[in-house]
Structure 1
Amino acid sequence: MSLRQTLREKQFESRRFEYDDETEYVVDLGPSANGTVDVVDNTAIIVGDKEQYEIEIPHDAQVFMNNNVLTIEVEE
């Protein structure tokens, strides 16, 4: 399953941006989510609105959160 399909399955509205050397997935959790993200092996563990989600990510992905905006960068 693709990363975009996985995000949809978890009920995340995401935007996808394609660049020459990477693809970026961006999810806005909203102002009240108080979100955090941790990465363990190939799994991103996202906590927001007192919910926890686990998303399989590619091994070369960079994952970070800033102001409740989750960004997943995947090298092409």
Structure 2
Amino acid sequence: MNLDQFTREEGQLARRYEYDDATVMAVDFGTEATEASVDVVDDTVIIVIADDQYEIDLPDSVEDAHTFIKNGVLTVELEDER
């Protein structure tokens, strides 16, 4: 699922920031998600919050992705191919 579909279906607040050599996505899961986990498997970001799992597909042009979640806000930093 891409970020637009994810935010529409789940009602999450999300932002996407475009830079010259990278893209940053931020998704606010709310304060209940403070004990969430996040991982990148192949081209998919997987977020687990309690018994729920969410997946965000990464664009094909991404060479490297860094993820972290703090205070219920997921941040995905994507480095584009050069």
Q: Say if 1:7 and 1:13, in contact at 8 Å, map to a contact too.
A: no
Question: Is the radius of gyration larger for structure 1 or structure 2?
Answer: 2
* 8 Å Cα contact 1:24-1:72 kept in structure 2: yes
1:21-69: CA deviation from partner (whole Å, max 9, x where unpaired):
2121101111112211011111111012531112212442222212221
More helix by share: 2
Structure 2 distance, partners of 1:4, 1:54, is 9
2:72 to 54, 68, 71: 68
The sequence identity of aligned pairs, in percent, is: 47
**Distance change >3 Å, CA 27–CA 8, structure 1 → 2:** same
Instruction: Give the secondary structure class of the aligned counterpart of 1:20.
Output: coil
Q: TM-score normalised to the size of structure 2?
A: 0.69
CA RMSD of aligned residues (A): 2.2
Q: Which runs of 5+ in 1 are unaligned?
A: none
Tell me the matched-pair count.
Answer: 75
Deviation at 1:9, TM superposition (A): 4.8
